[in-house]
Structure formats: structure tokens, C-alpha cells
Structure 1
Amino acid sequence: MEKTKGIDRAQFLTGAAALGGAALLPPGRAEAAGRAGRGLRRRGVVYTVGEGETPATAFSTARMRADLRAVRDDLHADTVDVTGDGVERLTATAAEAAELGLHVWLQPTLGDVPERDILEHLAESGRFAERLRRQGASVELSVGCEFWLFVPGIVPGANVMERIENLRNGTVDWELMQRRLDRFTAKAAKVGRSVFRGRLSYAAAQDDRVDWNLFDVVGIDYYSYFRERDDYVRELKRYLRWGKPLAITEFGTCAYVGAPQTAGMGWDIVDYDKNPPEIKGDPVRSERVQAAYLTDLLDVFESMGLYAAMAFEFVTADAPHRPDDPRHDLDLASYTITKPLKDRPDDPSSDWHWEPKEAFHALARRYGSRRAAHI
């Protein structure tokens, strides 16, 4: 769920710096893993398979199949990051994507349950990914996403939102948190290796300390904002020092003026204490702002020849667009490149459909032109 993607990274970095952030990178000469001037190898989108909050927005196999065809035929993506929880949903979606000829980045993200359950969920998903790989599908496995956020016991807090609050307040033992994070990351990598023989990765927050020797691909959820392109390049280059391919496992923003400058906190404009939830303040909707941010970052990734980039994300059914009711237009706080619209806006059981945002069309033009250039 996008409202948990990207806490205040400045708070997190403050704690990480105290531990010596330079330890993130291996000693010795930097080895560039990009392919400058040659463009991205894989261009895609994140597709979340978790259950919705109401029966009307719950996972639907028929809807998933239609969505993936739109990913391939309309968005012109060649890669889909299949993420979320529920082994049956994950595997059904991965199989459909593979059948459509898409490259599959399978990333199970079960959270807020005991470690043993999370690792078993990973193992089951990984075994299926290995079967797909042996059958000739193009597939990679990510062992998870931002473990400190989703795995209980690393950061204090009974759930994701409590952990975010503790991190933002600085009420954590940074050194202890890092040891716990390292321990679980190593466990997850070991499980992934035991069941999957293809490329292995992990989706880290951009200021996380990760031992990338455990993985074949460096994966970063990237939400920075700079005025100058060179600043993005300078920041991203530090992840190339491992001499491994760099995948941007998430990048995106919300569709309102000023959202990119929030650096991943764009979701924090909703008052969930209200029933129904309300938009705080008076943000000005702008799909153009969202589209420009995505294409600007995509240009940076292309220029650096990174391995892959997956826009976050395709659709969030539980954040419907309310064009006639800005106070309840939850799509404003969503990172999706489509806007869900209910047939009956005030009815929780109403059917719904999505329509493309400007960001969808902008990415489709870029993805389509790169695909055409390689035919």
C-alpha cells in the first residue's frame, strides 16, 4: 500500500549516518554497473496483488488478466513487478504475466506476521518462480521490500504505521535495528537461494544499509527530488559501486502540485481519523506534475543505462478518484498511474473501473518508443 512507501528519509538517514553510512559501499575502486548511453534494459510497472479493503475491490483473476494485457499492450511495458501477499494471488499473476511474454519480477511482501510465516511465504513463492524459470519464463525473485517496515521485531511498533511513527520520531535504537535488519535480510537471502536459481534481489529504501554481496541485483525504492538532473545521477552512482546491476524497484509520486518535493511522503495528505477519510488542506490536483516527475526520472535512468525501472504503481482500487468531491478524492494521495472510478461513488459495494492518468500516457510513449527502437 503506497501510503507506507517512503517515510521521512531525512529522519532515517540521520540514524544511519550515526552508524557510518559509508559502510554501505565496498572498499576499493568503483566498478560502474550501468550501461551509459545504452538505455534501460527493462521498463516496467509495479502490480500489487493484495486483497482490497472491500469485497468490491478484492483480488479478481479476471481483472488481473485484463490489467496485465493493458500493461503489455497499452503501457508497452516489458516488465511487471508482481508484489503483495498471498501465494495463490502472486503465483497466478506471475504465471499470467509470463504467459503474456512479460519479464516477471516476483516480490512477495507478506508483513505483520511472525518471521517464520514470512520466510515460508517467500519460499513458496520462490519455488513457483523457479518452476516458471525452468519452463523458460523470464523471471527474477526479490526476497521482499523494506524489511524494517514490514517485518515485526526490527523496528518497535505493532504495525506498519506505528513503525513509521517511531522512525519519524527517532524513538528507535538505530544500532540494534540495523543488527536485526541485517540478520533477517541474511535469512531471507538464504531462503531465496535455497529455492530459486535465477537472479536474486531485494527492494531496499534508498538510505538503507544492505549487504549487497547477498544478492545479484541491487534494488532501490527511489523517491528523491532534485531540481537538477546531475544531482540524481550523482546520488544514484553510489549504488553502482557494488559492480552489480541496479534496478529501481519503485519510483513515482502523487498527482498534485508539490508532491514530488515530499520525497516519498506524498501519501501523507489524508486524515484517516475521519470517516470517511478526508484530504487535508487544499492540494491542487495535477496529473501533469506526476507525469513530468516520472518521465524526468526515467530519462535519468535511461541516460545511466540502469538495469531496470518499475513505476509505482499500476492501480490502487481503494483510493478512488472523486472528480466532483475533492475533499474525498483519495486518488490524490495515491502513486498510481491510473485512477479508479466507482460507478456509485458513495456505495462501498459499487463496481469500479480505472482510467489512465497523464502519467500512464507519458510512460506509454516512452516505453513504446524504446520498444519500437529495438524491434
Structure 2
Amino acid sequence: MEKTTGINRARFLAGAAGIGAAALLSAGRAEATARKPGLTRHGVVYTVGEGETPGTAWSAVRMRRDIRAIRDDLHADTVDVTGDGVERLTATAAEAAERGLHVWLQPTLGDVPPRDILEHLAETGRFAERLRRQGASVEFSVGCEFWLFVPGILPGATVMERIENLQKGNVDWAGMQRRLADFTARAAGLGRSVFHGRLSYASAPEIDQVDWGLFDVVGVDYYSYHREPAAHVRELKQHLRWGKPLAITESGTCTYVGAPEAGGMGWDIVDYDKDPPEIKGNVVRSERTQARHLTGLLDVFESMGLYAAMAFEFLTADAPHRPDDPRHDLDMASYGIAKAIKDRPDDPRSDWHWEPKEAFQALAARYRGACQRQ
């Protein structure tokens, strides 16, 4: 597990998904305005962080190669640069802008005092504004799922404690929503003060009740599963009632049969109490399942004419693929569209490389076609 200031998003996606929070928070009905089919922006989430081992520590050299691959091989036009560490965030955003990509910059520092999170936000936002003034195509998101990452909104000192309290129902929902609304408003105001382009926030719709009047773009981390595309359309329409562009700030699934049905809890197939961690049960690896789910969602987003969609995520370096050892093939629990492969699987200092999964290839074909039509 990553340090608490660099939380591994694939471990904590939509934490309330497993407790049916959607039944507790009614979003109401929404009427969608007419939109032309097609997305304006096709992207991928690129997470920066310290890394869990020396071998997977953040590297500027690797990052630059990855950004080139996102542009030239994945054919994405947008990269969602997220994570913590102002230097990592800004270096990655600058590289993406230099390569001509649209930058969606989103700091996600967690499990530190709120004032530190706001300071981290402000510093990242100032850099985003400098990029914008230099002519880069950039939007700024003030953060992601504050109820999960910011201490004091939900009970619990860490992300895992807050998830546990959600699952046990140890939550004062009215108080939580007041605290969440207060922090979101503070973050939005601070974001406006340092960044003068389009502002957004990545929400978990099962929990967040966001005043989207504070933002220019509605952002949704979307991990729902429905058998029929029409059900996705019905669910997403509620987010169009604000009359603002809707960006799918995250969507994806893990790499095994049945992962889409698990939604945001797909990562929960690993027993981290074991050393080394191992896959629980008889999970069957399936890159095809991941690819079909992502392209199926892309069909929905395109049909609705949404503003942007970012696949989660490019790579989870700390969940390496072990093709000859299914019990320890942690990539099955990864949302990455590329798989990390170590030169020496049992050595934490081992060098490694990534290879594209079927989902990478499927999205690349779709993104290439979209670029040609634009």
C-alpha cells in the first residue's frame, strides 16, 4: 500500500459502492439537453506518486516516455494528471502540455491536515495558471472525492478507517454533507483565486452532493455496472441538469472475469495480509473483459455527447503482472490499461517495463478514429 499521502486510487475507488450509498442519497430526476454524438476530449488518468518500492518510485524519465506513449500510441488528446507531490504533478503537466496534449490537472493529496491539502491545491493551481497563460490547453480540478481523502469530513484518521466506518454505517450523514459542502466551497474559492480557466471537481455521485454552481465542468467518477447501455444513459442524465459540460473523470474496471460487476470495489480480490500479497479465490484473468467494458462505456459517453471521458488508469506500477504465477498476478486487481512486468519478479528493486493490455489497444483504435474525425 502506498503511503497515506500518496493513496493508491485503485485500492479505494468509490468506497461507498459496496454499502449502497446511492439508496441513501437521492439525486432526483434530470432532463438532458440535446447534444451531438461524440466526445470533445478522449483521455486517460495518469497517476503520479512516490511509489511503494524503490523500483517503482516516480521517475521523470519514465514519465516522459509514458506521456509520449499516451499521445503517440494511445492516441489520447487529454491526460488527467492526478496524484500528490507538487513537483511530480507540475513536471508531468508541463510535459503533457509540451507534447500538445490537453491537460486536466488534479491534485489529490490525502490523509494530512485540511490546511495542507488546500496549500497543495493552491500551489498546483498556480502552476496550472502559468501553463494556461503560456498558451497551454489546461483545466484545473480542485480535487477528488473529498469525503474520502480529507480528514474530518467522515470519521476516521485514514482512508481505510473512513471506508470501514462507511461500511459499518458509522456516519452522521447530515453532518458529513455539511462538512463536505464547506470544504468543497473552500476548495472551489481557492481554486478560483489562483486559476482563471475552467474549474472542476471529481465527485463520487453515490456520496457527493455538489453545488455545481461553484464549477464550470461537472466531474463524475463513474464505476456503475449495468447490463444495458440505456441504464447507463438514464443514470448519467441526472448530471446534465446543471446545463454544464459533463466530464467522466474516471471510469474503468479491473482485469478479470466479473470485475465490471464489482464496480469501484474491483480491487478487493487481493489478500494484503499475506506476504507477498496474493489473489483470493479462483479469479480468472481476462484482459478482454476489461477492454469490452471500457469500449462499451465509451459507446455510452459518445452517444450522449458528453464533454470528456478519462479511462482509469494508464498504469498501476505497484501491481505487477506475473503471467506464470496467477496467485500473485496483482495486475488482475489493477484498473490499468497497461501492465507492469518486472525483470526479476521477487526483487522490489528490480527494473520493469510496461506492455499494453487489450484495453489499451481497443481504446487506441477508438481514440485514433475520433482524432481523424475531428
* Shared fold (TM-score, shorter chain, > 0.5): yes
SS at match of 1:242: coil
Question: Where in structure 2 are the equivalents of 1:145-160 lying within 5 Å?
Answer: 145-160=144-159
- Counterpart residue number, 1:295: 295
* Cross-structure match for 2:80: 81
Deviations for 1:192-247, whole angstroms, at most 9, x for unmatched residues? 00000000000001222111111000000000111111101111100000000000
Tell me how far 1:9 sits from its aligned partner: 2.1
Cα deviation for residue 57 of structure 1 reads 0.4
Amino acid at match of 1:75: L
Looking at structure 2, the residues matched to 56 and 70 of structure 1 have their Cα atoms a distance apart, in angstroms, of 21
Determine the structure 2 residue equivalent to 1:13: 21
Change in 2 beyond 3 A, CA 1:14/1:224? closer
Quote the RMSD (CA, aligned, Å).
Answer: 1.3
Equivalence for 1:167: 166
Matched residue of 2:130: which SS? helix
* Structure 1 residue 344 corresponds to structure 2 residue 352: no
Name 1:260's counterpart in structure 2.
260
Cα deviations by residue, 1:146-165 (Å, 9 ceiling, x for unpaired): 00110001111121111111
Structure 2 residue 134 is matched with structure 1 residue 135:
yes
- Contact kept? 1:31, 1:242, Cα under 8 Å: no
Match for 1:146: what amino acid? E
- Quote how far apart the aligned CAs of 1:11 are: 2.3
Q: Where in structure 2 are there 5+ consecutive unaligned residues?
A: 1-7
Contact 1:12 1:167 in 2 (8 A): no
- Compared CA separation, residues 344 and 269, structure 1 to 2 (3 A): same
Give, in angstroms, the shift of residue 14 of structure 1: 5.2
The letter for the 1-side match of 2:21 is L
CA displacement 1:302-324 (0-9 Å, x = unmatched): 01110000000001110000111
Deviations 1:26-49 (A, max 9, x none): xxx8462x6232x00000000001
Match of 1:307 in 2: 307
Q: Partners of 1:251 and 1:87 in 2: how far apart?
A: 25
Give structure 1 regions of 4+ aligned residues with deviation exceeding 6 angstroms: none
What is residue 181 of structure 2 aligned with on the other side?
A: 182
- Aligned ranges 1:226-245 → 2 under 5 Å: 226-245=226-245
**Contact 2:319 / 2:340 at 8 angstroms: preserved in 1?**
yes
For 1:165 and 1:97, locate their aligned partners in 2 and report how far apart those are by CA, in whole Å.
Answer: 37
Distance 1:304 1:192, change over 3 A: same
Residues 184/16 of structure 1: CA separation in 2 closer, same or farther (3 Å cut):
farther
Instruction: Find the counterpart in structure 1 of residue 4 from structure 2.
Output: none
Instruction: Kindly indicate whether the alpha-carbon contact (under 8 Å) linking 2:32 and 2:238 is maintained by their aligned counterparts in 1.
Output: no
State the distance in 2 between where 1:294 and 1:102 align: 21
Aligned CA distance change for structure 1 residues 83 and 318 (closer, same or farther; 3 Å):
same
C-alpha separation in 1, matches of 2:258 and 2:191: 39
Partner of 1:115: 114
Contact map agreement 1:30 1:242 (CA 8 A) in 2 = no
Give me the whole-angstrom Cα distance separating, in 1, the residues matched to 2:157 and 2:328: 28
**Residue 32 of structure 2 contacts residue 237 of structure 2 at CA under 8 Å; is this kept in 1?**
no
The one-letter code matched in structure 1 to 2:368 is G
Amino acid aligned to 2:157: A
Indicate if the aligned counterparts of 1:30 and 1:243 stay in contact, CA closer than 8 A.
Answer: no
Same amino acid, percent of matched pairs:
74
Cα distance, 1:133–1:270 mapped onto 2, change above 3 Å = same
Provide the C-alpha distance between the structure 2 equivalents of 1:370 and 1:68, rounded to a whole number of angstroms: 19
* Secondary structure of the structure 2 residue equivalent to 1:124: helix
> Any residues of structure 2 matched to 1:201-216 within 5 Å, and which?
201-207=200-206, 208-216=208-216
Q: Which amino acid aligns with 1:358?
A: E
